[in-house]
Amino acid sequence: MLSNTCKYAIRSVIYLALNAQDGKKIGIKKISEDLEIPTPFLGKILQSLARQKLLSSTKGPHGGFGLGKDPMEISLMNIVEIVDGLDMFENCLIGMRPCKTDTNNQDPCPVHGQFGAIRQQLYNLFNERTVGKLITEIEKTDEYISL
């Protein structure tokens, strides 16, 4: 459902929420190594998130990336919308016709009925789940997840 780029973006924001508190900045090489994401690819992802103010970035020898907002204010939907857009919530799952946006459609695609409810659940989940809530759950388990 989510692109690899979007998954990397979510992992990166969670990583920064865990490791870059109190205005601390983390260099892209460190993030890239820890998350095993190619540096040039990660750089593009982080810059797009910084342009939208989810992250802050500082250039220079002591520069790097940090969170641009409180983790409790960053929903998964914020990240998904920036990276992947909202197509999966607005268009047909199998690309036949716009299922959700065309409510007058008398001839929906073969998966419209089943996917409509799942689409709404995903939409609600991504809107309600914040990076802050995820961090709280990660810290409760004391397990290192492969971000």
52 neighbors 82 (Cβ within 8 angstroms): yes
Q: Which two tokens stand for residue 104?
A: 């007058």
Whether this prediction's pTM lies above 0.75 is answered by yes
Q: Which two tokens stand for residue 144?
A: 């290192």
Question: Per-domain residue ranges for the chain?
Answer: 4-141
State the Cα–Cα distance between residues 27 and 94, nearest whole angstrom: 39
Rounded to 5 degrees, what are φ and ψ at 57?
-135, 145
pLDDT digits (tens, 9 = 90+) for 57-89: 999 888 899 999 999 999 999 999 999 999 888
CATH 1.10.10.10 corresponds to the domain 4-141: yes
